[in-house]
């Protein structure tokens, strides 16, 4: 695909802090539009997981970078329409990468500039017709700066912790709401304070505070940005 054709494929970027509902909203919006979906957080989680499996110290930037460059990550949509599986070096790591520990590992390695560089082209390759919904922290600020539609989804820290709590509980994971809140706050703080691709709204992004908003209303609000 030529650069011009690539630019012509529309992208909707949905950035924001942990637990703001990006995953749920991005999936619903991509489905409604019939567009592709990029869960960029899953890539950072997968690299953190692969590094852990290889016994790599997450503070060893060179080793983690090599791991990011060589890890094979495949998203596989099950035929029955269930949750997309994340296959890391041939192993189905969907459940392992969803824990809060995996989130913290992802956040630690995501602060390494060379790791972000290693994942850049992979993320850009998701831009395919008829369009892409890209979910993450730097989709609108770094990876798809020319995206015609940009959203920054947020919610109060309490509400984000409650949502994450429900999600993890539904997966059968043992979690405590109070520790989840402090973990989420620590992760957001690190994501927002890092030098490379910090978490912040892209210029021109519509900021949507979803505190107290039902999912259907958020989806409708986001779809309106793309359609009108």
Residue among 100, 138, 159, 183 that touches ligand C5P (CB under 6 A): 138
16 interacts with ligand C5P by CB under 6 A: no
Output the smallest distance, CB 110 to ligand C5P, in A.
3
Do residues 25 and 134 make contact, with C-beta atoms less than 8 angstroms apart? no
107 interacts with ligand C5P by CB under 6 A: yes
CB-based burial of residue 176 (10 Å sphere; 0-12 exposed, 13-18 middle, 19+ buried)? exposed
Binding mask 66-105 for ligand C5P (x = CB under 6 A): -------------------------------------x--
* Nearest C-alpha neighbor of 56 from the set 86, 100, 48: 48
Residue among 36, 45, 149, 160 that touches ligand C5P (CB under 6 A): 45
Binding mask 143-182 for ligand C5P (x = CB under 6 A): ----------------------------------------
Output the smallest distance, CB 58 to ligand C5P, in A.
12
Output the smallest distance, CB 144 to ligand C5P, in A.
10
Which residues, listed in sequence order, are joined to residue 14 by a DSSP beta bridge? 135, 151
18 interacts with ligand C5P by CB under 6 A: yes
**Cα 41 to Cα 105: distance, rounded to the nearest angstrom:** 11
Piece of 3-11, 40-48, 147-155, 170-178 that binds ligand C5P (CB under 6 A): 40-48
Do residues 19 and 141 make contact, with C-beta atoms less than 8 angstroms apart? no
Q: Which residues contact 207 (CB under 8 A, 6 or more apart)?
A: 151, 152, 154, 201
110 interacts with ligand C5P by CB under 6 A: yes
- Torsion sign, CA atoms 194, 37, 224, 20: negative
41 interacts with ligand C5P by CB under 6 A: yes
54-81 burial, b at 16+ Cβ within 10 Å, e below that, comes to eebebeeeeebbbbbeebebebeeeeee
187 interacts with ligand C5P by CB under 6 A: yes
| Phi-psi sector, 83: left (phi>0), alpha (psi -120 to 50), beta | beta
140 interacts with ligand C5P by CB under 6 A: no
Output the smallest distance, CB 2 to ligand C5P, in A.
26
- Grouping H, G, I as helix, E, B as strand and the rest as coil, residue 89 is coil
Residues that bind ligand C5P (CB under 6 A): 18, 40-41, 44-45, 103, 106-107, 110, 136-139, 187, 191
């Amino acid at each position: 695909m030529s650069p011009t054709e690539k630019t012509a494929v529309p992208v909707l970027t949905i950035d924001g802090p942990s637990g703001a509902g990006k995953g749920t909203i991005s999936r619903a919006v991509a489905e409604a539009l019939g567009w592709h979906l990029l869960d960029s957080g899953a890539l950072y989680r997968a690299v953190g997981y692969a590094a852990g499996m290889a016994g790599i110290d997450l503070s060893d930037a060179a080793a983690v970078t090599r791991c990011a460059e060589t890890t094979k990550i495949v998203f596989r949509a099950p035929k029955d329409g269930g949750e997309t599986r994340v296959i890391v070096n041939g192993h189905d790591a969907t459940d392992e990468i969803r824990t809060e520990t995996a989130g913290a590992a992802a956040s630690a390695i995501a602060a390494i500039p060379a790791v972000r560089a290693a994942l850049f082209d992979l993320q850009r390759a998701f831009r395919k017709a008829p369009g892409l919904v890209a979910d993450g922290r730097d989709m609108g600020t770094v990876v798809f700066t020319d995206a015609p539609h940009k959203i920054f989804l947020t919610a109060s820290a309490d509400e984000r912790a409650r949502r994450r709590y429900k999600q993890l509980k539904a997966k059968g994971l043992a979690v405590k709401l109070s520790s989840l809140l402090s973990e989420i706050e620590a992760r957001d703080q690190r994501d927002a304070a890092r030098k490379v691709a910090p978490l912040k709204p892209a210029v021109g992004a519509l900021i949507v505070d979803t505190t107290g908003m039902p999912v259907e209303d958020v989806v409708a609000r986001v779809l309106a940005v793309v359609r009108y």
